[in-house]
Amino acid sequence: MTTERERLERVRAEWLTGRGGEAARLEQAFVLDIAFMLFENRLHPTVDNIRYVNDGKGSPNVIQPAVKVFFQGELQRRLAKPAPLEGVPAPLMTLWAEVLDSAGKIAERSLAERSALVEDRSAAIDAREEDLLQRERTLDQREVDLQALIRTLQQDLDRARSEQAELSQEHRQVLTQLAEQREATAHAVAAAQAQAADHDRTTEEWQDRVAALQAQVEQLESGSAKSAQALDEARSALSEAQQQARIERATAAERLEAALQVAEQARAQVESSSALARTREQELQAALASVREALGVAEGRRDGVQQQLAELQARHAQLVEERRLAPFDVAVLSKSLAAAHCAFRAAGRHPSDEQLATAATFVYAHAVRGTNPDEAAAGGEVALLIERAPPSPEEKR
């Protein structure tokens, strides 16, 4: 049994020999001839095979449309016109041609129905592919939006953490200032109290002196032996001492009043500062609580968005895989149909349209998964269909 490579070399040699050893400038007619030669030798009329047969020459822009024409009608037309066989009467050949023509028309109708079905399915798959593409674009945009949202949330988290650090620093500064003010007020009150105590001692000393002078005056007034001059001096000293005591007492009272005022002012200032500090501390605590709550909410949203993004990326990968497997073109189906037809011919079988279509479906199912159509045509499913197919007229003869 010849290999596919050997059959391809045989077709190439036959074509180039008929052209005088030179490649042809490929046109549709030449492409159709090469395609039919390949088909007769159970080879696929692909662009690469046709170019190889023509010594590597030929534009794919010319070959691809011609191959499409070949499968759409040219193949059936050529199969419907058998060459005259030596020793076979002409009337029998005419009858055989009529039978083939009738079978060809039936095959054409069946092929037209299949082509319409394939086109409908191709349109449905194209629509599904477009839907998948649209969903993929939507998912791409949603992924971009979620990435932007994550960046925004991260920026909000960083800003909230910075505000929390600043509020904590300000809270510590307020507490430090309050402690310093309390300490300064305590020093001022202690100084005022010490100064008041000094004034009290000075007043007591002057009171003791006045009492001593009064006692001296009384003694002088009661004593006859004392002179009037001494009495006058004592009285003068007593008057001066009383005057000085009054002055000292007034001064001490003024100083004590001033100290008390300073202490009261310091106490009021401390109470005011304490109230302000307590208010500011409450504000800072509320702000810190609000920031912590915002941090919790932002972190929760970020985790939720990251989970959504992970699910989105998984769905995106799934859609990409679906879109990769969904589309197919008529060329793959045509190759599958040709491979199935060649398998029946190689086995000497003449399949019905239903058997050929079923076999092509099996081949296509394997071809879309990357299996070579010829190898797929040799599979178990197609082999069973070949065994059930009736033998061809040549095989019967």
| Residue 10 scores a pLDDT above 90 | yes
Residue 366 placed within a domain: yes
Q: Point out the domain boundary residue: 273, 294, 325.
A: 325
Q: Taking residues 357-384, what's their average pLDDT? A: 69
Residue 363 placed within a domain: yes
Could you tell me if 62 and 24 are in contact, meaning their C-beta atoms sit under 8 angstroms apart? no
Q: Taking residues 280-308, what's their average pLDDT? A: 76
- In this structure, the answer to whether residues 380 and 238 fall within a common structural domain is no
**Average per-residue pLDDT for the chain:** 75
The tokens for 38 are: 């390949």
d(CA 64, CA 28): 10
pTM > 0.85: yes or no: no
d(CA 364, CA 379): 12
pLDDT, residue 215, reads 77
Residue 168 placed within a domain: yes
Residue 6 placed within a domain: no
Instruction: pLDDT band for 282, please (50, 70, 90 cuts).
Output: confident
Q: Taking residues 150-167, what's their average pLDDT? A: 82
* CATH number, domain with residue 218: 1.10.287
Q: Quick one: how far is CA 110 from the chain centroid?
A: 50
Q: Taking residues 189-213, what's their average pLDDT? A: 71
Looking at per-residue confidence, does 104 or 286 come out higher? Answer: 286
Looking at per-residue confidence, does 280 or 47 come out higher? Answer: 47
- In this structure, the answer to whether residues 210 and 269 fall within a common structural domain is yes
Nearest to 189 by CA among 264, 252, 257: 264
Residue 259 placed within a domain: yes
Least confident of 68-77, 171-180, 351-360: 351-360
- Number of domains the chain contains: 2
Task: For residue 383, give its domain range.
Answer: 328-397
| Residue 258 scores a pLDDT above 80 | no
Looking at per-residue confidence, does 55 or 105 come out higher? Answer: 55
Q: Taking residues 60-65, what's their average pLDDT? A: 92
Most confident of 39-48, 110-119, 366-375: 39-48
Neighbours of 299 (CB within 10 A): 15
- In this structure, the answer to whether residues 260 and 281 fall within a common structural domain is yes
Which residues share a beta bridge with 391? 349
What DSSP assignment string belongs to 291-349? HHHHHHHHHHHHHHHHHHHHHHHHHHHHHHHHHHHS---HHHHHHHHHHHHHHHHHTTB
Residue 126 placed within a domain: no
Q: Point out the domain boundary residue: 310, 325, 340.
A: 325
- In this structure, the answer to whether residues 172 and 291 fall within a common structural domain is yes
What DSSP assignment string belongs to 236-285? HHHHHHHHHHHHHHHHHHHHHHHHHHHHHHHHHHHHHHHHHHHHHHHHHH
Give Cβ neighbours of residue 139 (< 8 Å, ≥ 6 apart).
312, 315, 316, 319
Instruction: pLDDT band for 118, please (50, 70, 90 cuts).
Output: low
Q: Point out the domain boundary residue: 297, 325, 353.
A: 325
pLDDT for 77-104, tens place per residue? 777 655 565 666 777 777 766 766 676 5
| Residue 36 scores a pLDDT above 80 | yes
- In this structure, the answer to whether residues 165 and 313 fall within a common structural domain is yes
pLDDT, residue 266, reads 67
